[in-house]
A and B are shown apart, each in its own frame.
Chain A
Protein backbone atom coordinates (compact mmCIF):
# COMPACT_ATOMS: atom_id res chain seq x y z
CA UNK A 1 0.00 0.00 0.00
CA UNK A 2 1.51 3.32 -1.02
CA UNK A 3 1.52 6.37 1.24
CA UNK A 4 -1.58 8.53 1.08
CA UNK A 5 -0.82 12.02 -0.20
CA UNK A 6 -2.38 14.60 2.08
CA UNK A 7 -1.59 17.72 0.09
CA UNK A 8 -4.48 19.68 -1.31
CA UNK A 9 -2.91 19.71 -4.75
CA UNK A 10 -3.72 16.01 -5.06
CA UNK A 11 -7.24 16.58 -3.84
CA UNK A 12 -9.05 18.03 -6.85
CA UNK A 13 -12.72 18.57 -6.03
CA UNK A 14 -12.01 19.57 -2.42
CA UNK A 15 -12.85 22.94 -0.93
CA UNK A 16 -9.80 25.18 -0.58
CA UNK A 17 -9.27 26.50 2.96
CA UNK A 18 -9.19 30.29 3.23
CA UNK A 19 -5.80 31.91 2.65
CA UNK A 20 -4.40 35.40 2.61
CA UNK A 21 -1.40 36.79 0.71
CA UNK A 22 0.44 40.09 0.63
CA UNK A 23 0.78 41.27 -2.96
CA UNK A 24 2.46 43.75 -5.22
CA UNK A 25 -0.12 45.12 -7.66
CA UNK A 26 1.53 46.39 -10.85
CA UNK A 27 -1.65 48.16 -12.04
CA UNK A 28 -1.60 50.36 -8.93
CA UNK A 29 2.16 50.39 -8.42
CA UNK A 30 1.38 49.59 -4.80
CA UNK A 31 1.24 46.80 -2.26
CA UNK A 32 -2.02 45.07 -1.39
CA UNK A 33 -3.57 41.99 0.11
CA UNK A 34 -5.68 39.25 -1.39
CA UNK A 35 -7.72 36.54 0.32
CA UNK A 36 -9.78 33.62 -0.90
CA UNK A 37 -12.65 34.97 1.19
CA UNK A 38 -12.69 38.23 -0.83
CA UNK A 39 -12.33 36.37 -4.14
CA UNK A 40 -15.31 34.17 -3.24
CA UNK A 41 -17.33 37.19 -2.14
CA UNK A 42 -16.65 38.83 -5.53
CA UNK A 43 -17.52 35.57 -7.37
CA UNK A 44 -14.09 35.39 -9.01
CA UNK A 45 -12.48 32.45 -10.73
CA UNK A 46 -8.94 32.16 -9.38
CA UNK A 47 -5.78 30.76 -10.93
CA UNK A 48 -2.90 30.34 -8.49
CA UNK A 49 0.31 30.28 -10.50
CA UNK A 50 3.28 29.19 -8.37
CA UNK A 51 6.86 29.63 -9.61
CA UNK A 52 10.26 29.19 -7.93
CA UNK A 53 11.62 32.73 -7.77
CA UNK A 54 11.63 36.25 -9.17
CA UNK A 55 14.51 37.08 -11.54
CA UNK A 56 14.52 33.55 -12.95
CA UNK A 57 13.95 32.49 -16.52
CA UNK A 58 11.24 30.04 -17.61
Chain B
Protein backbone atom coordinates (compact mmCIF):
# COMPACT_ATOMS: atom_id res chain seq x y z
CA UNK B 1 0.00 0.00 0.00
CA UNK B 2 1.36 3.38 -1.04
CA UNK B 3 -0.61 6.55 -0.46
CA UNK B 4 -0.07 9.34 -3.00
CA UNK B 5 -0.91 13.04 -3.00
CA UNK B 6 0.57 16.12 -4.63
CA UNK B 7 2.05 17.21 -1.27
CA UNK B 8 5.82 17.06 -0.77
CA UNK B 9 7.47 14.42 1.44
CA UNK B 10 8.12 17.19 3.99
CA UNK B 11 4.41 17.89 4.36
CA UNK B 12 3.76 14.11 4.66
CA UNK B 13 6.22 14.02 7.54
CA UNK B 14 4.63 17.01 9.27
CA UNK B 15 1.09 15.63 8.84
CA UNK B 16 1.97 12.14 10.07
CA UNK B 17 3.65 13.62 13.19
CA UNK B 18 0.87 16.11 13.91
CA UNK B 19 -2.32 14.10 13.30
CA UNK B 20 -2.88 11.55 16.07
CA UNK B 21 -5.08 9.40 13.81
CA UNK B 22 -1.96 8.69 11.73
CA UNK B 23 0.35 7.65 14.53
CA UNK B 24 0.22 3.94 13.61
CA UNK B 25 0.72 4.44 9.87
CA UNK B 26 3.09 1.85 8.39
CA UNK B 27 2.73 2.49 4.67
CA UNK B 28 5.05 4.72 2.64
CA UNK B 29 3.51 8.10 1.83
CA UNK B 30 4.35 8.93 -1.78
CA UNK B 31 4.87 12.43 -3.08
CA UNK B 32 3.72 13.44 -6.57
CA UNK B 33 4.18 17.24 -6.54
CA UNK B 34 4.01 17.62 -10.34
CA UNK B 35 0.93 15.39 -10.60
CA UNK B 36 2.74 13.22 -13.14
CA UNK B 37 1.63 9.92 -11.60
CA UNK B 38 -1.90 11.19 -10.93
CA UNK B 39 -2.14 12.21 -14.60
CA UNK B 40 -0.93 8.78 -15.69
CA UNK B 41 -3.83 7.21 -13.78
CA UNK B 42 -6.34 9.86 -14.90
CA UNK B 43 -7.07 11.22 -11.41
CA UNK B 44 -5.37 14.63 -11.67
CA UNK B 45 -7.78 17.55 -11.42
CA UNK B 46 -6.24 20.32 -13.55
CA UNK B 47 -8.56 22.94 -12.05
CA UNK B 48 -7.36 22.38 -8.47
CA UNK B 49 -3.91 20.75 -8.84
CA UNK B 50 -5.11 17.92 -6.60
CA UNK B 51 -5.61 14.19 -7.08
CA UNK B 52 -9.08 12.68 -6.85
CA UNK B 53 -9.60 9.68 -4.56
CA UNK B 54 -8.35 7.00 -6.93
CA UNK B 55 -7.47 3.46 -5.87
CA UNK B 56 -5.49 1.14 -8.14
CA UNK B 57 -4.41 -2.47 -7.56
CA UNK B 58 -1.29 -3.55 -9.47
CA UNK B 59 -0.18 -7.20 -9.64
CA UNK B 60 3.42 -8.30 -8.92
CA UNK B 61 4.05 -8.47 -12.68
CA UNK B 62 2.96 -4.85 -13.10
CA UNK B 63 -0.54 -5.27 -14.52
CA UNK B 64 -3.37 -2.91 -13.53
CA UNK B 65 -6.19 -5.09 -12.16
CA UNK B 66 -8.58 -2.65 -10.47
CA UNK B 67 -9.43 1.02 -10.79
CA UNK B 68 -11.83 2.97 -8.61
CA UNK B 69 -12.20 6.75 -8.45
CA UNK B 70 -14.28 8.72 -5.96
CA UNK B 71 -14.93 12.46 -5.95
CA UNK B 72 -13.39 14.59 -3.17
CA UNK B 73 -16.22 14.23 -0.72
CA UNK B 74 -16.65 10.46 -0.60
CA UNK B 75 -14.38 8.22 1.46
CA UNK B 76 -13.41 4.69 0.45
CA UNK B 77 -14.45 1.39 1.99
CA UNK B 78 -11.33 -0.47 3.10
CA UNK B 79 -13.20 -3.79 3.52
CA UNK B 80 -14.13 -3.68 -0.17
CA UNK B 81 -10.58 -2.79 -1.14
CA UNK B 82 -9.23 -5.78 0.83
CA UNK B 83 -11.90 -8.03 -0.71
CA UNK B 84 -10.73 -7.03 -4.17
CA UNK B 85 -7.07 -7.50 -3.27
CA UNK B 86 -7.79 -10.98 -1.81
CA UNK B 87 -9.86 -11.90 -4.87
CA UNK B 88 -7.06 -10.80 -7.21
CA UNK B 89 -4.50 -12.85 -5.31
CA UNK B 90 -6.83 -15.88 -5.38
CA UNK B 91 -7.55 -15.48 -9.10
CA UNK B 92 -3.87 -15.21 -9.94
CA UNK B 93 -3.39 -18.66 -8.40
CA UNK B 94 -6.57 -20.02 -10.04
CA UNK B 95 -6.90 -18.20 -13.37
CA UNK B 96 -9.75 -20.41 -14.65
CA UNK B 97 -12.05 -19.33 -11.79
CA UNK B 98 -14.10 -16.17 -11.27
CA UNK B 99 -15.05 -14.54 -7.96
CA UNK B 100 -18.74 -13.58 -7.82
CA UNK B 101 -20.01 -10.31 -6.32
CA UNK B 102 -20.55 -11.77 -2.85
CA UNK B 103 -17.16 -13.54 -2.68
CA UNK B 104 -15.39 -12.54 0.53
CA UNK B 105 -12.66 -15.06 1.23
CA UNK B 106 -10.95 -18.16 -0.11
CA UNK B 107 -13.54 -20.51 1.47
CA UNK B 108 -16.36 -18.88 -0.51
CA UNK B 109 -17.64 -20.37 -3.75
CA UNK B 110 -16.05 -19.32 -7.00
CA UNK B 111 -17.38 -19.96 -10.49
CA UNK B 112 -15.70 -21.84 -13.30
CA UNK B 113 -17.08 -20.35 -16.52
CA UNK B 114 -18.08 -23.08 -18.99
CA UNK B 115 -20.91 -24.02 -21.34
CA UNK B 116 -22.54 -25.94 -18.47
CA UNK B 117 -22.69 -22.82 -16.31
CA UNK B 118 -24.53 -20.65 -18.84
CA UNK B 119 -27.91 -19.74 -17.35
CA UNK B 120 -27.15 -21.87 -14.26
CA UNK B 121 -25.28 -19.42 -12.02
CA UNK B 122 -28.08 -19.48 -9.42
CA UNK B 123 -27.74 -23.26 -9.03
CA UNK B 124 -23.93 -23.06 -8.95
CA UNK B 125 -23.96 -20.55 -6.11
CA UNK B 126 -26.61 -22.36 -4.04
* A-side contacts of B3, CB under 8 Å: 49-51
Q: Is the interface of B mostly helix, strand, loop or mixed?
A: mixed
Contact A50 to B38, CB < 8 A, known contacts A21-B4, A23-B2, A45-B60: yes
Task: Check: B25 CB closer than 8 A to any chain A CB.
Answer: yes
| CB-contacts of A3-35 with B (<8 A) | 5, 7-17, 19, 21-27, 31-32, 34
Taking the nearest CB of chain B, how far is it from the CB of A43, in angstroms? 4
**In the bound complex, do residue A16 and residue B64 qualify as a contact, i.e. CB atoms below 8 Å apart?**
yes
Chain B contact patch, size range: 35 or more
Taking the nearest CB of chain B, how far is it from the CB of A24, in angstroms? 4
Residues of A within 8 A of B (CB): 5, 7-17, 19, 21-27, 31-32, 34, 36, 39-40, 43-55, 58
Task: Check: B88 CB closer than 8 A to any chain A CB.
Answer: yes
Taking the nearest CB of chain A, how far is it from the CB of B42, in angstroms? 3
Identify A5's interface contact among B25, B42, B74, CB under 8 A.
B42
Task: Check: B12 CB closer than 8 A to any chain A CB.
Answer: yes
Apart from the given pairs A7-B41, A40-B62, 14 other A-B contacts in the complex at a CB distance below 8 Å: A10-B42, A13-B64, A32-B28, A36-B58, A39-B60, A45-B59, A47-B57, A48-B2, A48-B37, A50-B51, A50-B56, A51-B51, A52-B5, A52-B50
